[in-house]
Amino acid sequence: MNDVLGHPIVAGSTVLTGAYWSPTMDQITTVEKVTKTKVYLSVPGMKYNSLTGRYINTTIRVGRHPHQLVVVDKQLKYNKKTYPENLL
């Protein structure tokens, strides 16, 4: 299975994707499972706790279609090697 740019997606790949219910691609996470139609990964999200009446930060496992991901393994390795001062 390939991402939106044609890079192969395998379990363990680092990908750029959107957060839970987010229209932007702003989260870097790792692929957990790849099936024929979807890619499963964990992204940060919030859930409502009805006992306390508060929202809690948690990770949510979501299924994404391949066109919603960009594999960034090679780019991250290059950036860490070439521009270490720009990374947090």
Each residue of 31-58: pLDDT tens digit? 999 999 999 999 988 899 999 999 999 9
What mean pLDDT is predicted for residues 67-72?
A: 90
- Quote the number of domains for the chain: 1
pLDDT number for residue 75: 81
What's residue 87's pLDDT?
67
Question: How far is C-alpha 18 from the chain's CA centre?
Answer: 7
69 lies in some domain = yes
Q: Would residue 86 count as lying in a domain? A: no
Query: Could you tell me if residue 8 is inside a domain?
Result: no
At residue 66's C-alpha, the angle toward residues 38 and 37, to 5°, is 30
Q: What pLDDT was estimated at residue 88?
A: 59
28 assigned to some structural domain: yes
Supply the range of the domain harboring residue 57.
Answer: 14-74
The pLDDT of residue 26 is 87
Portion of the chain with pLDDT greater than 90, in percent:
43
Buried b (16+ CB within 10 A) or exposed e, 41-57: bbbebeeeeeeeeeeee
